[in-house]
Structures are given as C-alpha cells and as structure tokens.
Amino acid sequence: LKERRLERVVIVGHSLGGVLAYAIAARAPEIAAVVAIDGLPFMPALMDPASTAESVAPQAAQVRDMFATLDRAAFAQQTRGALAQMITAPAEVERVAREAVRSDPRVVAQAVYDVMTTDLRDEVATIAAPIWLVQAAAGAPEEMSAAYAAQIERAPRDHLVVAKTAKHFVMLDAPELIDATIDQALAEVAR
C-alpha cells in the first residue's frame, strides 16, 4: 500500500481473509473500507464472549495437530466434509474441494490455529474506516446476529449484513448480496 501510494483502498476478505482485513485496516490508515465475509475479529467469542486467545489455545493446538497429521487422502475427506457444511450447492462443494485439497495440510492446520487464537476485538475499535461484516446465517439461531454484531460494535462505523440463506461461503450462496455490500462500501468511499 505504501510502496504503491494507494489511497482509499477497500479491502475485502473471506473468513481468514476477513481477519487479515481487520489487521491490515487497524495498521493502515489508507484503508477506506473493510468488507469481511464471515470473518470475525475473534471467532471463539461467538460461542463464549469471555474466551481469550490464551483460553482457547489448547483446543486450537489440538485442531492444528490433528490437521497436521492427516495424509493426503484423509485431508481430502476431511476437507470435503467440512466444505459440505459451509457451501449449499453440491457442485460448488466439489469445485471448491478440488482446489482446497491441493493445499498443504500443515499450512491449513496453522491457519486454523491462527484464526482460533487471534483476537482483534480491541484493534477493531481503532479502525476508522467503515466495516461491513457479512454474517452467514443459514441454520443459525437469530441470537447469533447479536454475537456477530458484538464483534464489531466498538468500531466507529460498523455495519452488520445478515445473509439469512447463506452458509460460510456467502459469495457462492448469495453472490448478489456480496455484490450489493461491496457496492455500498465503494459508494461510501467515493463520497
């Protein structure tokens, strides 16, 4: 960003990419807007708002260590099973799985660990840019929206967009909603 002297940048990230978007925006004032697609400042707080990076580290380490020991066949099976819970259309599950299984299981394991142990809730409060957090809400209880909103409520300009019929890969399940949300972010930046 600095090297290219970019200004009024809109950063869009999904899941881990959302976590990265918050981290970048907290450190880079040239970020003009953040769109986080089912990416949270601290994922474990959805289930337990009192959780901390330290309190979830042992569980995160177990998940990391389990993923890191999978052979390619087991990793592919685990990945397809997980994606089936995160994407509605079976054809899209297969398409994404074909790409995902090419990943190194150890890198995926570390990424899962990092998402589980990175708490950016305090940093989100320092982000001056508007934030759009898109919640994947298919099958989620209505009170889950309050837990999502709590993750960004300290940000000066926060927007929660609820994708009622979409699973985690909102951009596949509700592409029109993602397009409209990004258009809102761009329109606000253009003002």
pLDDT in tens, 146-171: 999 999 999 999 999 999 999 999 99
pLDDT in tens, 135-146: 999 999 989 999
Its pTM stands at 0.94
CA pair distance 48, 151, nearest whole angstrom: 12
Phi, psi values for residue 29, rounded to 5° = -65, -15
Tell me the average pLDDT across 28-37: 94
CA pair distance 86, 96, nearest whole angstrom: 11
User: How many helices (H) does the chain have, and how many strands (E)?
Assistant: 9, 4
**Res. 128: pLDDT tops 90:** yes
Query: What confidence category does residue 191 fall into, taking pLDDT thresholds of 50, 70 and 90?
Result: confident
Phi, psi values for residue 113, rounded to 5° = -60, -45
For 33, the enclosing helix (H) or strand (E) is strand 31-37
Strands 131-136 and 158-163: parallel
Tell me the average pLDDT across 12-23: 97
DSSP string, 170-190: HHHH-HHHHHHHHHHHHHHHH
For 98, the enclosing helix (H) or strand (E) is helix 90-100
Phi-psi category of residue 90: left, alpha or beta, with phi > 0 → left and psi -120 to 50 → alpha: alpha
Query: What confidence category does residue 7 fall into, taking pLDDT thresholds of 50, 70 and 90?
Result: confident
Tell me the average pLDDT across 87-108: 95
**Rg of the chain in Å (alpha carbons):** 17
**Res. 68: pLDDT tops 90:** no
